[in-house]
């Protein structure tokens, strides 16, 4: 008997009769709205015109979606997409019955870790006339908060959950057809990201670390991707691994991709940087 386990079988969202607001979408919107509000406080503190936040939203939003999409395609699902190139860009899948609308079903956070910094380079150069790492230091605080909301969205969707706990403790994801308690790895990650947000928020407002260009972004990289590396041991594989051909076994793709990101973060934290006035 799993009398100590939580049976998780939520609705897919808020049913308005003519439209259903999905919980994941709601979490996504909440992350952006709260992030923009808090980022505005940072811009005011740094004496940056708040009008420059309008292009920031578009840069982040588009680079995140494109980066996450291409990250899934090339890091996790290339075996499929190399034979279905059109499905990379179109929200349709080809079947024996023809093309059917499927939406975009594959996203990978490692892709966003590449896409967003690239976009921020062009944003900082065009709109801020400040160092690239200046905006990354501040945006990283908001990304940590967004990670909290997105992982709770995954929890509501009963996806990206963990392996069976082997005990009476855990969460039974009924919506996914599970019958045994599993690690709620979405909550492990989400709450860890929330803690990281509070730490970085404190460092920005209460210490001089915001003047040490690259430190906050480096801290974000080290903590977030280290957490991701560890928690991956408890997750069910999101994709089929490469079996005997996978030279990094027993590490999975997500863990291998996290290692260089952690090392970059360490370098940013320990390097010498000029402090801004």
Q: What is the pLDDT of residues 134-167, one digit of tens each?
A: 999 999 999 999 999 989 988 998 988 999 998 8
**End-to-end Cα, the chain, rounded Å:** 63
Q: Which of 7, 35, 76 lies closest to 255 in space, CA to CA?
A: 76
Q: What phi, psi does 5 have (nearest 5°)?
A: -90, 155
**Domain contains 130:** yes
Q: 272 or 36: which carries more pLDDT confidence? A: 36
Are 150 and 28 a contacting pair, CB within 8 Å? Answer: yes
Q: The dihedral of CA 121, 51, 62, 195: what is its sign?
A: positive
Give tens-digit pLDDT for 18-50: 777 788 788 888 998 899 899 999 999 999 999
Determine the pLDDT at residue 3.
54
Residue 275 is assigned to a structural domain of this protein: no
Residue 70 scores a pLDDT above 90: no
Q: Which DSSP string corresponds to 102-126?
A: -------HHHHHHHHHHHHHHHIII
Residue with tokens 């939003």: 61
Token pair in block for residue 243: 């079996």
Residue of 74, 72, 233, 221 lying closest to 137 (CA atoms): 221
Res 242: pLDDT: 47
DSSP string, 44-91: HHTT--GGGHHHHHHHHHHHHHHHHHHHIIIII-HHHHTT-THHHHSS
Strand partners, 59: none
* Host domain of residue 197: 6-10+19-270
The answer to whether residue 276 sits within a structural domain is: no
Mean pLDDT confidence for 75-90: 73
Answer yes or no: is 193 within a domain.
yes
Tokens 């940590």 belong to: 144
Q: Does any domain span residue 29?
A: yes
Q: Is residue 189 domain-resident? A: yes
Residue 218: predicted pLDDT: 96
Q: Per the structure block, which two tokens stand in for 230?
A: 């560890």
- Measured distance CA(153)–CA(161) in Å, rounded: 12
- Say how far apart CA 24 and CA 149 lie, in whole Å: 9
Residue 277's pLDDT band, with cuts at 50, 70 and 90, is: very low
Classify 31 as helix, strand or coil: helix
Local confidence band at 4 (pLDDT 50, 70, 90 cut-offs): low
Percent of the chain with pLDDT over 70: 83
Q: How far apart are CA 199 and CA 195, in angstroms?
A: 6
Q: What are the pLDDT digits (tens) for 174-227?
A: 988 898 999 999 999 999 999 999 999 999 999 999 999 999 999 999 999 999
- What is this structure's pTM? 0.83
Q: How many domains does the chain have?
A: 1
More confident residue, 14 or 211: 211
Mean pLDDT over 233-257 rounds to 69
> Residue 124 falls within a domain, yes or no?
yes
Residues of the chain with pLDDT > 90: what percent? 47
Examine residue 171 and state whether it is found in any structural domain, yes or no: yes
> Is-contact 152 188, C-beta < 8 A?
no
pLDDT recorded at residue 103: 57
pLDDT band with cut points at 50, 70 and 90 for residue 231: very high
């Amino acid at each position: 008997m799993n009398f100590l386990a939580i049976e998780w079988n939520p609705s897919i969202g808020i049913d308005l009769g003519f439209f259903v607001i999905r919980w994941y979408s709601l979490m996504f919107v909440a992350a952006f709205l709260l992030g923009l509000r808090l980022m505005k406080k940072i811009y005011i503190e740094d004496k940056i015109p708040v009008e420059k936040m309008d292009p920031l939203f578009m840069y982040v939003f588009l680079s995140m979606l494109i980066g996450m999409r291409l990250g899934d395609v090339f890091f996790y699902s290339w075996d499929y997409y190399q034979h279905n190139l059109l499905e990379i860009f179109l929200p349709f899948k080809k079947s024996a019955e023809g093309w059917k609308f499927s939406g975009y079903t594959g996203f990978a956070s490692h892709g966003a870790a590449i896409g967003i910094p690239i976009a921020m380079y062009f944003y900082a150069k065009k709109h801020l006339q400040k160092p690239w790492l200046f905006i990354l230091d501040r945006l990283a605080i908001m990304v940590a908060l967004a990670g909290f909301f997105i992982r709770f969205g995954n929890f509501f969707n009963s996806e990206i959950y963990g392996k069976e706990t082997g005990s009476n403790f855990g969460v039974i994801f009924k919506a996914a057809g599970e019958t045994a308690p599993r690690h709620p790895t979405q909550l492990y990650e989400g709450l860890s990201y929330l803690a990281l947000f509070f730490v970085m928020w404190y460092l920005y407002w209460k210490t001089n670390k915001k003047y040490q260009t690259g430190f906050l972004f480096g801290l974000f990289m080290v903590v977030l991707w280290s957490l991701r590396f560890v928690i991956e041991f408890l997750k069910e594989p999101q994709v089929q691994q490469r079996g005997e051909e996978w030279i990094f076994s027993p590490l999975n793709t997500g863990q291998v991709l996290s290692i260089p990101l952690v090392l970059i973060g360490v370098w940013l934290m320990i390097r010498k940087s000029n402090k801004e006035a």
